[in-house]
Chains A and B, each alone.
Chain A
Amino acid sequence: MSSLRRSARHIPQALAALVLLLLVIAAVFPGLFAPGDPLAINPADGFQPPNTTHPFGTDGSGRDLYTRVIHGTGPSLLIGLGATALGIGLATVLGFVAGLGPRWLDFGTSRVIEVMLAFPGLVLALLVMVISGPGAFGATVAVGLATAPGYARIIRGRVREIAGSGFVEAARVQGRGRMRILTRHILPGTARSLASLATLGLGQAIVWVCALSFLGLGVAPPAAEWGALLNDGRQFIATFWWLTFFPGLFIVLTAVSATVLGRGLAKTTRSVS
């Protein structure tokens, strides 16, 4: 009974993993789910509400929204992954430098993190965008840089927690060298935290990149990317609701799944340590 209950606790995580898996398949083989051409124009069919031939409706040029959303999965996930990789990568470097370096280096790095955290997140991303310029690349870099300081602080905390732990002290008493302690205890100990951070971060990054695209600063229409689709439908929110609703739904689905999965990972991390 208790094992049943325990596995019941994992149902949300299993569902989240399934959703993400389907999204990845759709990203790699969009033709499997939507064989049509996402860019095919059919002006006669413009602004059709959802119906049997167009389950998500059509846009002003008569393009099938369902096909466009499915084909948008790839670019959206890719940009999200890029931003997450940049953010986590930078954060890992900063976090380890601060967490393991000498005190002055920790002080300096921590101050840099703190200053970056003084800007509200999306505002920092916009500041980066004015330097990097608009577009998919600019948005990826902006979101990556803007999310890095938050992650860096968490990673630094985790590294310091392990480095100051009783078992690292025990290893020092046993005469283990710095490299050995790093590879035996600190790296494996942070790996799980990094995995959960990256999963949670993916959801966050996709939402932010899409927000930038929605604001007209990220991926430009008519490319089939979720944020671009949102931007497309932005001026029709009150009239042709499906144009923003369905791409948004996919973003929400991705973000919720990533969060559920990331939290699950974080929970197992905590139960081990």
Chain B
Amino acid sequence: MWAGARRVALRIGGAILVLWAAATVTFFAVRLIPGDPAQAFLGGPGSQASAEALARVRAENGFDLPLWQQYLGYLGRLLRGDLGTSYSLHAPVADVVGEQLLGTLELALWSLVIAWIIALGLALWSVAGGRVAAHVAAGIEMTAAVLPHFWLGSVLILLFATGLGWFPAIATPDARGIILPALTLAIPLAGFLAQLLREALQEAAAQPFVLTARARGESRVGVFARHTLRHAAGPAIGLTGWAFGSLMSGAVVVETIFARPGLGRTLVSAVQVRDVPLVIGLTLVAAAAYLVVSVLSDLAERALNPALRVSRDALVERALEAETPAAPGTFSTPGAFGTSGTSEPSGIFEQPETSGTEPRA
């Protein structure tokens, strides 16, 4: 119990450290913009920022102070939840984020649910349907996984909005309006999740304990429900955090296509007019949301799969058995620092099988 609480605390502490590092990187990266930082904050040299606007930005960010004081001031403001002022929207960034966050979360949540339903259906069908079904499913999943959102979105609009007229092409606040954007986000994700789930199910089905269960008189369905599904679901749930990150990426495009309010669309327009405070604020909030979901899904995976919980006894026993504990990759022990110990595929890159080299505890 105590070890579990410690793990949770470590995991959250790690996530906070990563967030701090992300904020620091952002702070210094923005200083890379050439020219007057106040000018850069207001849309770059091309913008006709007024003198008083420039003066206000200078005062707000303390651009005339030494860099370390600027940095400390920036961290202090972040801690107070002050993300600066958006010059293009003439509003505090925190307020803008507050207005837009919910829309994006709603979209992401819907997409996640739809993606899981499609993925489970595809995986079950390919497992139950024999070799041909597995091949067909593999093809569908792979194609779906690489479909770009901008194209998929326009095809869906063409089919269901212009063609059949079932759903509006422009997102409306009601449930009907969220279907197409959510589907656009969900289909590629479903393809990816289904691939993963199918591989995990096949791997679990080849384990020797399946023979044990069948030799005990367990039916195929029983083996699936009691053994294989649980083994496959763990990694898939652990990946939900990663999936959420990919949804945030996708939301940038999808919200723009469907003219749906949200973090993504606000971010795009902020980048277009180079509204630096707004971009920083939105980026940090996106990272924070991503980290929160990563931590949650990681902890959920561990709760589901107690074998992952390393007890003190088991650790010592394993150390003795292997006789070479503390493998060189000790840094990647889960919870030591941030997200590295999870089995998620490398963030952006959708190739779980080539990435699985991190030793797991």
A residues whose Cβ falls under 8 Å from a Cβ of B: 12, 103, 106-107, 110-111, 114-124, 126-131, 133-134, 146-147, 149-151, 153-154, 157-158, 160-161, 164, 193, 196-197, 200-201, 203-204, 207, 210-211, 214-217, 230, 234, 237-239, 241, 244-245, 248-249, 251-252, 255-256, 259-260, 262-263, 266, 269-270
> Interface code B234-271, partner A: CB below 8 Å = 1, 0 otherwise?
00000000000110111011001100000000011011
What CA separation (Å) do A105 and B19 show in the bound complex? 21
What CA separation (Å) do A131 and B287 show in the bound complex? 18
Q: A121 and B246 in contact (CB under 8 A), knowing A197-B354, A215-B252, A238-B162?
A: yes
Q: Which of A237, A252, A255, A270 contacts B169 (CB 8 A)?
A: A237
Within the complex, what minimum Cβ distance (angstroms) separates B275 from chain A? 8
Closest A residue to B273 by CB, please name it. Answer: A130
Interface residues of B in 328-361 (CB under 8 A from A): 328-332, 337-340, 346-351, 353-358
Contacts A/B (CB < 8 Å), 19 sampled: A120-B245, A123-B282, A127-B29, A150-B347, A150-B348, A151-B349, A154-B351, A154-B355, A157-B357, A158-B357, A200-B351, A203-B146, A204-B349, A211-B253, A215-B253, A230-B151, A234-B257, A237-B157, A244-B150
Residues of B within 8 A of A129 (CB): 271
- Whether B358 pairs with A127 at a CB distance below 8 angstroms is no
Within the complex, what minimum Cβ distance (angstroms) separates A120 from chain B? 4
- Whether B355 pairs with A153 at a CB distance below 8 angstroms is yes
User: Is there a chain A Cβ closer than 8 Å to B219's Cβ?
Assistant: no
- Whether B150 pairs with A248 at a CB distance below 8 angstroms is yes
User: Is there a chain A Cβ closer than 8 Å to B161's Cβ?
Assistant: yes
Residues of A within 8 A of B283 (CB): 119, 123-124, 126-127
Within the complex, what minimum Cβ distance (angstroms) separates B133 from chain A? 17
Q: Which of B33, B146, B272 contacts A256 (CB 8 A)?
A: B146
What CA separation (Å) do A12 and B143 show in the bound complex? 12
B residues whose Cβ falls under 8 Å from a Cβ of A: 18-19, 21-22, 25-26, 29-30, 32-33, 44, 139, 142-143, 145-151, 153-155, 157-158, 161-162, 169, 245-246, 248-250, 252-253, 256-257, 267-268, 270-272, 274, 276, 279-280, 282-283, 286-287, 290-291, 327-332, 337-340, 346-351, 353-358
- Whether B272 pairs with A259 at a CB distance below 8 angstroms is no
Residues of A within 8 A of B282 (CB): 123
Residues of A within 8 A of B274 (CB): 130, 133
What CA separation (Å) do A164 and B340 show in the bound complex? 19
Residues of B within 8 A of A196 (CB): 354
